[in-house]
Structure 1
């Protein structure tokens, strides 16, 4: 990388979004593969949305460059359906559509569950503001390993990554070759 006045002369999407200068939020919760046990309230539904080449969709916050998966908090209109929460949030945050999701596991956070789902990404429309925040996220494709590097998941990260790859295989999607992050700037269909 060449610098001019301390800045890259050919900045990557990570440079432009400020990812590399942003502290990663710590999420050191215990991981459990499989569905959420009865009685554990679900407070988040996030998705690993795979392209046909095995990369996943990651969102970068416009103000901080913080990285996250598409998804969020269940709302009454989701009727307790974690897949409906993911569908709604992926559309709101990333204008993304996906196939039928698989539950891959959950994190336990003080008696609450943070569910992870996996699905094949089928379409990404034009970027638009998230109605909940007004933010327009930068949408990038990364290998699952690259995505995990953007998160601070602590000791459970390796177990989560194993579950992610098991789900990818169940979906019939190949493993992704390591490559630079790719920004999705316009509509794309797979």
Structure 2
């Protein structure tokens, strides 16, 4: 094949190239842009110019659209967008696209305060709960954004997508984690036991594996994440540790070591308290239906910081994580690095 023929062949298969940038605030909400040229929102980003690298494009677009200078050097996902997946006008002759989703990181109030919108195109920005993305973005854009967000939490490196969906789904993808709004418990954190004038309605625990990761349960129908634990019952006779042991067995088919009380969060309006413990996992059996719900939870191990991103606990999250790590040290366990979550599918003893 001649150079001319080979060049023509490759040109016939050419695709567009684009970028978007996933930015979150400290509450885990995602930055979306309202624009004046379409009726759905977008993540920051845009088309790759001739001779430009996708990473350079992403940084340029952040400056043009948000007025913020940022280094963009981590790619969360690369999406192959097929020609028939976009309702583009025929005259546009859309050939398909390769779109890179970059990690813009978590922006604090000071960084958010630096945002300056351009005179046209971007009319407003807002930070939204991940579960709101399908209501605000196009279906394809929402799938891609949620897949990229799960990839960031999973910490497994850049994922390959086809029309917004992972080629190799993780447990987070398979269950659609974050497609359902996270329960909001933005309550104050208090070390130690709950005072007597509070009614304790939930007892939850950070249960540690030997490598320092913690057990998280994923609800099979909604993808909601919960820590093992539950509601005190009459049979527990007011013993919250008994509640915890029973719930760990019923929900997660686990036995635990001696729990350490971390503290509690309070709902001031309802005068209710929610206890938090930490304990080492002693044994993990085969998954089984929870007698209270009939659901068989998917069990994953994740670093405590990864687990916290699956919840909406507000500013007190950092205080609770500090208590979690203090308990981890008391239990003689290592600090777990961010790494791909592990699904527990069978039984193990340590």
Is the shorter-chain TM-score for this pair beyond 0.5, marking a shared fold?
yes
Counterparts of 1:20 and 1:66, CA distance in 2: 7
Evaluate the alpha carbon distance shift between residue 20 and residue 111 of structure 1 in structure 2; reply closer, same or farther with a 3 A threshold.
closer
Shift in Å at residue 169 of structure 1?
1.0
Counterparts of 1:73 and 1:11, CA distance in 2: 33
Counterparts of 1:186 and 1:129, CA distance in 2: 14
Three-state SS of the structure 1 residue aligned to 2:299 is strand
Whether 1:70 and 2:224 are equivalent positions in the alignment is no
Q: Please point out which of 270, 275, 291 is paired with 1:115.
A: 275
Whether 1:2 and 2:160 are equivalent positions in the alignment is yes
Q: Which residue of 2 aligns with 1:183?
A: 343
Shift in Å at residue 88 of structure 1?
0.6
Q: Please point out which of 223, 246, 249 is paired with 1:91.
A: 249
Whose relative contact order is higher, 1 or 2, with alpha carbons under 8 Å and at least 6 apart? Answer: 1
Shift in Å at residue 46 of structure 1?
0.3
Counterparts of 2:168 and 2:180, CA distance in 1: 20
1:25-74 Cα deviation digits (max 9, x unpaired) = 11111110112223322111001000111000000000100000000100
Shift in Å at residue 124 of structure 1?
1.0
Three-state SS of the structure 2 residue aligned to 1:130 is coil
Three-state SS of the structure 1 residue aligned to 2:320 is helix
Counterparts of 2:237 and 2:292, CA distance in 1: 19
Q: Which residue of 2 aligns with 1:104?
A: 262
1:74-115 Cα deviation digits (max 9, x unpaired) = 000001111111101111111011001011000111311100
Whether 1:50 and 2:208 are equivalent positions in the alignment is yes
Q: Which residue of 1 aligns with 2:182?
A: 24
Runs of at least 4 residues of structure 1 off by over 3 A? none
Q: Please point out which of 300, 305, 318 is paired with 1:158.
A: 318
Q: Please point out which of 102, 126, 131 is paired with 2:291.
A: 131
Number of equivalent positions: 190
TM-score by length of structure 2 reads: 0.53
TM-score by length of structure 1 reads: 0.97
